[in-house]
A = this chain, B = another copy of it.
Amino acid sequence: MKQDGFEDIGLAKIDTDRKNRTGVGEIIFGQGKTAEQMDKIVRTMKEKGQDSILITRLDAEKAGKLEASLKPDFSLKYFSDARIGVIGEFSTSRSSDVENAKILICCAGTSDLPVAEETALTLEFLGNKVERMYDVGVAGIHRLLSYQEKLKNASVIIAIAGMEGALASVVGGLVSCPVIAVPTSVGYGASFGGLAALLSMLNSCASGVTVVNIDNGFGAAMAADKIMRLTEK
């Protein structure tokens, strides 16, 4: 750990050592930051040599402002579904190595799509290949069961669901690979903003399922990426 591995710009201390330490460079958490603040952070990161920058939880309005303020120096690509902004290129260096390592992203319903896309785009940004398997919730379990071959061949599965989040347990009981569960805030009433799905996934009877925060597609992607890197060593 290099104790001088950061750049202090007052409102932020850019962690220039992060890639060295954790394998992935600094990523910007867009929520609660102004476009002006993000503009300064992006410019510092670029100066310090980070080519590709991911911004998560970036709403459309701020994305527009940031895109405008970064011009003409840098261009921001915005993915509204996933609320993600990207400056620079997606990583491709690792993608040929992971040819046969499939990360499978399952989600229970169409309403879970924003979280699923945040997951997928983050993984692709980091150079992973992913397969999307959307709307395979347990209310029509034959949909999921018809893909047993794909489930068996996956290296990592990310199971995304709101409401009662039962998808994670069912997937967890069918496969031998690591399963990362993402509860979503899809639902109403006693879903309590995703709490029902979160508790459900934490109590999964299928052993070995691990869980991230509600709607945290980004976190699940980071965890899956770390597992994939391990298999490449």
Using a CB–CB cutoff of 8 Å, the interface residues on chain A facing chain B are 1-6, 10-13, 15, 17-18, 21-24, 27, 29, 31-33, 37, 41, 57, 108-113, 132, 134-143, 145-146, 148, 155-156, 163-166, 169-170, 172-178, 180, 183, 185-216, 218-220, 222-223, 225-227, 229-231, 233
Contact = CB atoms under 8 A, between A and B. Distances in A.
A172 B139 CA distance: 7
Contact of A142 (B6, B134, B155, B201): B6
A206 B136 contact: no
Contact of A10 (B17, B134, B189): B134
Secondary structure at the A interface, as helix, strand, loop or mixed, is mixed
Nearest to A175: B22
A163 B165 CA distance: 12
Contacts of A110: 11-12, 32-33, 37, 41
A202 B190 CA distance: 7
9 interchain residue pairs of minimum CB distance? A189-B214, A32-B111, A208-B222, A210-B210, A23-B176, A166-B166, A196-B199, A15-B140, A164-B200
B172 A169 contact: no
Contacts of A187: 203
A210 B178 CA distance: 11
Nearest to A30: B111
Contacts of A57: 188
Contact of A216 (B113, B175, B189, B196): B189
B196 A190 contact: no
Given A164-B165, A213-B190, A230-B155, A195 B205 contact: no
Given A1-B148, A226-B177, A13 B163 contact: no
A31 B226 contact: no
Contacts of A41: 110
A233 B139 CA distance: 24
B202 A195 contact: no
Contacts of A205: 108-109, 137-139, 163-164, 166
A139 to B, nearest CB: 4
Given A22-B208, A200-B200, 8 more contacts: A3-B146, A12-B135, A21-B175, A139-B206, A166-B166, A188-B213, A190-B194, A208-B223
